A = this chain, B = another copy of it.
């Protein structure tokens, strides 16, 4: 069985105080005289007391748990976000119960009910599997990051402006036609705005453009083939034009660049490229790739801020729920590197 723990009872017997006073030593030490504080401190030391937050949680109703559901952790984006979330422990003191979702609604629902059973005070959801309507119905403060968020609070990058910035960078380095390569992301996902932002910029500036929707869901080697086919397609369709390629993330961008370099031993002058995310692959590619940064630390920070606000509200005697979900937009940052350099062209002025 379990080893008997040293509890407030032993401390109170040893010091002659009541359990209540011992409890106060932890939660409101100033209400004891300095002398008595010391007595209790000594007793804790002598008896080897270890605090028990499980009992504290049950009695106080506060767990300081936040549940997190990420789709996975092998994609850099998710693990970086989780990294930043965990590091907010120093600021807020919340502990994180983490699940890696597996895209199946049934199991993710199981994860959520497990989290609720542990009386988490809030949830941060990056997984796309469960609808925001259902998430809102669980009666726990929720913040989502870069996913469908109609009925819940959320933090997203400014994807629309990100798309514009990418098109701007490509346009600025003299591209004749802008190509956006993405997967067929549904319109309710925030990342879809990268497409609309890109298109809108082209429309307003009268720039020839094309959006290519590719299914990247296969294994890497298949994606290489698809990329090579895409390059052949572009070379044929736009032989004399400088092509500005905006890829939906830095991994596909690095792959696209590698395919180009394998074909031409360099980034040919009729190509310019911009990725998205500013994940480490972009800076560490064979040619450093220009990209649009998602400010992951700010995204994580804002998510916590919105969540903490809601959780604090819940702790009041008469919590007033939000009338409308809060949707926070974090700016993206254009990171120019070598794939959008103006090389041969002379600036016309």
Chain A residues at the B interface, C-beta cutoff of 8 Å? 1-2, 50-55, 57-58, 61, 63, 72-74, 76, 79-80, 82-83, 86-87, 89-90, 95-100, 102, 107, 111, 114, 116-119, 220, 251, 254-255, 258, 261-262, 265-266, 280-281, 283-286, 317
Task: List chain B residues, Cβ under 8 A from A50.
Answer: 116-117
Q: Are A73 and B82 in contact (CB under 8 A)?
A: yes
Residue A54 contacts which of B58, B82, B102, B285 (CB distance < 8 angstroms)? B58
Taking CB as reference atom, which chain B residue is nearest A118? B53
Task: List chain B residues, Cβ under 8 A from A86.
Answer: 73, 98-100
Q: Are B97 and A61 in contact (CB under 8 A)?
A: no
Q: Are B286 and A258 in contact (CB under 8 A)?
A: yes
Oligomer: number of copies: 2
Q: Are A54 and B87 in contact (CB under 8 A)?
A: no
Q: How far is the CA of A262 from the CA of B102 in the complex (A)?
A: 40
Taking CB as reference atom, which chain B residue is nearest A51? B117
Residue A98 contacts which of B96, B119, B254 (CB distance < 8 angstroms)? B96
Q: Are A220 and B73 in contact (CB under 8 A)?
A: no
Nearest 7 pairs of A and B residues by beta carbon:
A79-B79, A73-B83, A2-B61, A86-B100, A53-B117, A73-B79, A286-B286
Task: List chain B residues, Cβ under 8 A from A285.
Answer: 258
